[in-house]
Amino acid sequence: MFEAWGRLVHRRRLPVLAISTVVLVLSALSLVQGAELEGPPFTETEAFRARELIRKEIPPPATAPAPGSSFVLVFTSRSGLDATDPAFVGAMREAVATLQTDARVTGIRMPEDAGPSSAALRSKDSKRAMAVVDLKDNTGAASVYFPDLRALVRSDELEIIATGNVPLNRDIDMGLEADLQRAEIVSLPAALILLIVVFGSVAASLVSLAVGLLVIVGGLGATFMLARTSDVSQYAPNIATLVGLGVAIDYSLFVVSRFREELTAGRDVGDAVAKAVGTAGRAVAFSGLTVAVGLSGMLFYPGTFVVSLGFAGALVVVIALFYALTFLPALLSVLGHRVNAWRLPLPAGRGRSGAWRAIATAVMRRPLTVLVPTLAFVVLAASPVFHLRLAASDIAVLPPTYESRQGIDLLIAEFPGQDQSRVTVVAHFPDGPPLSPENVGSLYGLSRRLAVLPDVLRVEGPVDLDTRLDLAGYQALYAQAPGSRGAAVEAALGRTVGEHIAVLSVVSARRSNTDEARELVRAIRAQEITGGRILVTGATAADLDGIAYLIDHTPLAVAFVMVTTYVVLFLLLGSVVLPLKALAMNVLSVSASFGALVWVFQEGHLAGLLNFSPQSIEPSLPVIMFCLIFGLSMDYEVLLLSRIQEEHRRTGNNTTAVAEGLERSGRLITGAAAIMVAVFAAFALADIAIIKAVGLGLGVAIALDATLVRGLIVPATMRLLGEWNWWAPRPLRRLYERAGLGHTEPAPAAAEA
């Protein structure tokens, strides 16, 4: 089937190139149009349901202004003045004077205007002060013009740092965009150099790089097209580029190499294209299926931004397969022998007694001697994973050199209350009003129990307005008719009481991402109230719920990926043993990568070199890493085993097939892996910690996979299994042969020469 497709593409090469050009133009148009990228929150959680209850039952007053956003300016005297000094205050007012008249600014809150709250706007040692600038637009819109506002704030006497939601949001978006540009600038030249080393021909290298560029444009265009119809995470373009560039160059490398091999064996251009598509193209198609299957594991987390990453990754793999099986063979048909143009005097690295044959032969001579220490090393590399701690990412995703990150660090370290957190407790009474005497009693008891929990500073809510009132006092107060309780009480109730809910705010002395804050949320959720139920939200609750959601859905996602991959590999290899071995090899690569992730990003090794702050692992990161690594690692397993299978059918000898298959594909796999590691290393240079972690983790996994796993563990295990590698039950074998999946034309005798 694949050979027939190759012949068809060769005969219709010009129309195929025209179709590829049309697809490229459409992709470029979609890329130029762009789209707004913002992944959805976790919706299938208690924290989200609690927020929705508050939104529905306690909407803002109709006269309230539209929700806007804000940013914070932190001021420090260059000459050491206290923040209370009149000269400091005057310089601060002068610095923000231009903002006062800007139409985009709705107000500026400064310490001198805050009355009793002024202490919260000055640092604990009174050496710094902050101003809160309120904006009319939401965070996304305000991020666009924030640089203009920031440029208006200047002072010769004060150092100024801008931080808060708006600058943080902008810095993350700009950081992701800069990371993508940096990765492309670094990875493309590196890939070209490595391709020249592998091919020894500039023309062949440019062909493979051209496919990579087409796939990048196609992947980004498809990602933005997807974003115009659904929510897509801002990380999606980086993931699409990372995956697309890696697999595109890999696929083109194998197809072009096989095409050149067939030309060398004496075939004409048409037959060489057909043979390359029928062998390398077939392996590439199955490899693409396994990568897509791995990425599809992300689709098992509905209601999260992970789904959009799965779709973006799967789309770019489909595009890579499209170009590898259409544009590439059509281009090779046009080029013919000119694909070998501009040769360089580099060693070919092939031959009957090459390095990879020697390695495979040595390994298979003493398989256990090689296998045991190699497995021990991989297990040791994976061991840090037992210390894994998951927590939602915070400002630490930005490097310490960013201004917005420096500002947040200052606020937390030096300003009162900034190192605290709030837990929002929603008491839901479905059958009665929250302020009935019975429900007020439930709320009062709940508030007093929450107040004595560890690390709780205070509780704020409808039964905490006046310390002089006891339970009977609050019941009497709320028995009065609305409007007769006083303006302050009515205002407080408008913010905390709905038709069926009452909201309590628990102020904790611990930051939201600490273990103590998590224990507090668990303790609050363990509380009960008569006549209703308790729901908890806030940063810590959302963090816990997100982790629990991912853990609950992961077994099904992993099972789907592994079972489907097993089926695809059986369809490729016709064996029930080799797919199991391949899955085990991938588990080794994934485990070692996770170990590196914990060792570097959680424990902080190489933090100075890579410019990041050690932190807990973002809960979605292991999910993303598993799906990416599982698909990409299986890429090399498919390409290697398909060549070993071809040699086994030709020779009928397992040991010879392993040695010959590794010799003929080992150099290509090493070159392809080196290119992919170079691509991933470029992403490891990213400023945003999540992209940096993905790049580093994938680079470690692929490097380990293409050396220790494919070079040592695979030949050792295949030697131990012997002919059992190719075993399948007779009914499955007959089904496999009847479907025509087992047919491969023997390699020509000329190829041996």
Are residues 551 and 482 part of one domain?
Answer: no
Report CA-CA distances (Å) from 326 to 15, 21, 96, 240, 722. 10, 11, 60, 21, 37
Are residues 118 and 262 part of one domain?
Answer: no
Q: What pLDDT was estimated at residue 64?
A: 47
Of 476, 509, 531, the one marking the end of a domain is 531
Are residues 339 and 218 part of one domain?
Answer: yes
Question: Rounded distance, CA 246 to CA 239, Å?
Answer: 11
Residue 332 lies in a domain: yes
Residue 506 lies in a domain: yes
Are residues 235 and 103 part of one domain?
Answer: no
Q: What pLDDT was estimated at residue 87?
A: 93
Are residues 518 and 376 part of one domain?
Answer: no
Q: What is the DSSP letter of 153?
A: -
Contact 658, 240 (CB under 8 A): no
Gyration radius of the chain's alpha carbons: 31
Number of domains in the chain: 3
Across 429-583, the runs of DSSP E, i.e. the strands, are 456-460, 501-508, 533-537
Question: Rounded distance, CA 228 to CA 225, Å?
Answer: 5
Whole-prediction pTM: 0.79
Residue 130 lies in a domain: yes
Residue 27 lies in a domain: yes
Degrees (nearest 5) of the Cα angle 341, 346, 351?
100
Q: What secondary structure does DSSP assign to 36-56, as a single string?
A: ---PPPP-SSHHHHHHHHHHH
Residue 289 lies in a domain: yes
Are residues 76 and 12 part of one domain?
Answer: no
Residue 154 lies in a domain: yes
Residue 743 lies in a domain: no
What is the CATH classification number for the domain harbouring 555?
1.20.1640.10
Find the DSSP H helices in 34-164: 46-57, 86-95, 97-100, 139-152
Return the closest-CA partner of residue 208 out of 264, 283, 259: 259
Tell me the sheet residues that pair with 426: 503, 535
Question: Rounded distance, CA 626 to CA 683, Å?
Answer: 17
Return the closest-CA partner of residue 620 out of 215, 340, 300, 170: 300
Are residues 564 and 517 part of one domain?
Answer: no
Q: What pLDDT was estimated at residue 192?
A: 86
Are residues 175 and 128 part of one domain?
Answer: no
Are residues 632 and 549 part of one domain?
Answer: yes
Are residues 228 and 342 part of one domain?
Answer: yes
Per-10-residue mean pLDDT, the chain, length 753: 86 90 91 78 85 87 63 93 92 92 90 77 92 89 91 93 92 86 84 85 88 90 87 84 84 88 86 88 84 87 86 90 92 89 65 67 87 91 91 83 91 88 94 90 94 93 91 92 85 90 93 91 94 93 91 92 87 86 86 91 87 87 87 76 83 84 79 84 86 88 82 86 86 75 45 36
Contact 77, 127 (CB under 8 A): yes
Question: Rounded distance, CA 200 to CA 510, Å?
Answer: 60
Domain coverage including residue 24 = 2-39+170-346+354-389+544-732
Are residues 339 and 458 part of one domain?
Answer: no
Packing angle of the helix pair 654-684, 355-365 (nearest 10 deg): 120
Residue 661 identity (one-letter amino acid):
G
Residue 415 lies in a domain: no
Q: What pLDDT was estimated at residue 61?
A: 60
Q: What secondary structure does DSSP assign to 459-498, as a single string?
A: EESTT-S-TT--HHHHHHHHHSPTTSS-HHHHHHHHHHB-
Q: What pLDDT was estimated at residue 43?
A: 77
> Which string of b and e fits 85-115 if b means at least 16 CB within 10 Å?
eeebbebbeebbeebeebebbbebbbbeeee
Are residues 288 and 239 part of one domain?
Answer: yes
Of 124, 148, 163, the one marking the end of a domain is 163
